[in-house]
Amino acid sequence: MKKRIVSFILCLVLMFAMIPSVVYAANSPNVSIIKNVEITGVHTPYAGYHPDYASRLGSTSYTYDDQMKDDPDVYNGKWWYDETEQWVVSPSDTFELGHVYTLYILLVPTEGYEFRVDNYNTPFISATVNGEEAVVHDDLTGKSKAFIEYTFEPCDYNYEISNVEVNVEEPVAGGYPKYDVEILTAGVVKDETDSPFCIESVAWYDCVNQTFLDPSHTFEEDGIYEVNVFLTTIGDYYFSTNNDMTDVNVIINGKEGEANTAGKNDKYYIQVSCVVFGDIREEVEYVEITDLKTPSVGANPDFFVSPAGDDFYINGVYWTDVTNSTEVSMKETDTFKAGHTYELQVWIRANEDHKFSIDEDGYVDIMALVGGEQADVLLPGSEISAELSVRYTMSEPTIVSIVDVINVNTPLEGETPDLDAFCTTQGCNVSRVRWYDVTEGRGVLMSEDDTFRVGRTYRVDVLVQAEGNHTFLMVDGYNEATGYINGVSAIAYGSHDETELELGLVFAPCAENPNKPIGIYGDADCNSKVNVKDSTAIQKHIAGLANLSDTGRILADVDANDNVNIKDATAIQKHVAGMDTGYDIGKEI
């Protein structure tokens, strides 16, 4: 912190002393006289905070003096002074606990105005800062300048409000709603709200008829009513929050109430409510939450649960990762991880004609089941609200270091890619199979309808997924598990994902398919057609005029008696004529 001792103020004294003496002449007759100076909106110095130079003037007849605008410690005619250490506070400094601070303010009148002086040219004005009387330096104040100072109480920490207590006028059967509120908590006032149901920041709700009251309604003897009061903080006070949600204990007329969001910033605005009259509700001692999907590794958190029965309803569902004593809120797209601990919180509210059982200490006293598990009631809550909690620990994972994939057919001429790979490793399943033609060095992805060709080289990639409580071996953040395809060591593509492992295997160049068709029964001349020329070729072969090829002899033996003769030629002629021969003429062999 840059130290500048009291001589800083003495310099100001000299500066004012140099002002021409005409400044201190009696007030001019043709100007308006400023008698009072009001400065508001000055932030209290709190420990750990930087100096704040914001403020508001109570009149346009005067403004801040900017003659010291080039001084880095002066902003808009204002600077802070540490009385404890006796030095000027720089904007980059922070206030220290227990120190006493003074705010100095220089003002000048605007055109047509002067500060009041008496017949002896002595300043005769008063000043307030935040409504409190401030000091006006007589020796440095005249009709054209005013030097104001205000000293704050010893510096303390900012104030967090975790408890709010208010009183309202109790309803009387036959009477009208009252909107007066007594606020017993410092730093809290009623908040102005645009809600059509509010009068002076108070709203009365008829829980039986489910409607808000207006001033013309009257309370019924057997009615159930809830009062809602909208509150905000003043100065540097703020409401306590937890995970960006209101975390304030509320007492209304001596009864425990509830704090909710007011639709604004929860640190500065809350809505407090409490049932205050007509308590004829049925008491609820047991609640059960159903339809919960039990968390498992890799699954998403379930935010859609149901109440069992009509006694209460769900007011909110929250999942939090509480591993290692940290708290991280989960979203619907997050997944549960092995070895982590999760807390499920279900906030519930009693239906209009019910209330939760309360013990003698004012705590909710109910038996609660969530997804079949006994739940804890975390907070005292109130007669109409409760917070339930269940914890789940995902057991430590089973580490998979070797993966075996089988049933991947070797590429053969004319066949299509095989997508039916199977993983024999427990806790692992094949989630995707892809084939690539790598003959030219780069992989070309094949479709399901492509066929393998002789002499070309192919690679299969198999993506294996670890499921349940299984994860792949990780080293330095990379997947280091090894794998086999059809018993052959495969390429394992390392990744940062402990639940996915991709294996690749390059096969030898594609060979001819030993099971491919050699031709069509009856196609003796091997031209892929069966017609009368095939019968003639057989006849010439029998007569020794021409020889059939080896394949031709196989295809010509349509009666499958291992002998090519005139019967085969006759059968082919009948087939060509459309006659039924009883043989497989025209079919592949």
For the stretch 323-370, pLDDT in tens is 987 889 999 999 988 789 999 999 998 887 788 888 877 788 899 999
Task: Say what the pLDDT of residue 381 is.
Answer: 60
User: Considering the domain 517-589, what is its CATH architecture?
Assistant: Orthogonal Bundle (1.10)
Q: Measuring CA to CA, which residue among 522, 527, 519 is closest to residue 551? A: 519
> How far is the C-alpha of 487 from the C-alpha of 188, rounded, in Å?
74
> How far is the C-alpha of 336 from the C-alpha of 301, rounded, in Å?
7
Q: 10 Å Cβ neighbour count for 405?
A: 25
| Under 8 Å between Cβ of 55 and 106 | no
Q: Which residues contact 245 (CB under 8 A, 6 or more apart)?
A: 261, 266
Q: Which 8-state DSSP code applies to residue 242? A: E
User: 481 is written with which tokens?
Assistant: 């598990």
Q: 10 Å Cβ neighbour count for 553?
A: 17
Question: What ranges do the domains of the chain cover?
Answer: 7-151, 160-277, 282-393, 398-506, 517-589
Is it the case that residue 296 has pLDDT exceeding 60? Answer: yes
Cα dist. 523→75, 290, 331 in Å? 105, 71, 68
| Under 8 Å between Cβ of 73 and 79 | yes
> How far is the C-alpha of 568 from the C-alpha of 584, rounded, in Å?
12
Q: How confident is the model at residue 501 (pLDDT cuts 50, 70, 90)?
A: very high
Q: Which residues contact 17 (CB under 8 A, 6 or more apart)?
A: none
Cα dist. 394→294, 320, 336, 527 in Å? 11, 13, 8, 68
Write phi, then psi, for 230 (nearest 5 degrees).
-95, 125
Q: What global pTM score does this model have?
A: 0.34
Write phi, then psi, for 138 (nearest 5 degrees).
-60, -35
Sign of CA dihedral 209, 210, 215, 221: positive
Task: Say what the pLDDT of residue 380 is.
Answer: 57
Q: What confidence tens digit (pLDDT) does each residue in 210-257 have? A: 899 999 998 887 788 888 999 988 877 888 887 767 888 888 888 888
Task: Say what the pLDDT of residue 263 is.
Answer: 66
- Token look-up 């080289």 returns 457
Q: Measuring CA to CA, which residue among 139, 150, 151 is closest to residue 15? A: 139
Q: What confidence tens digit (pLDDT) does each residue in 69-111 have? A: 889 999 999 999 999 999 999 999 989 988 999 999 999 999 9
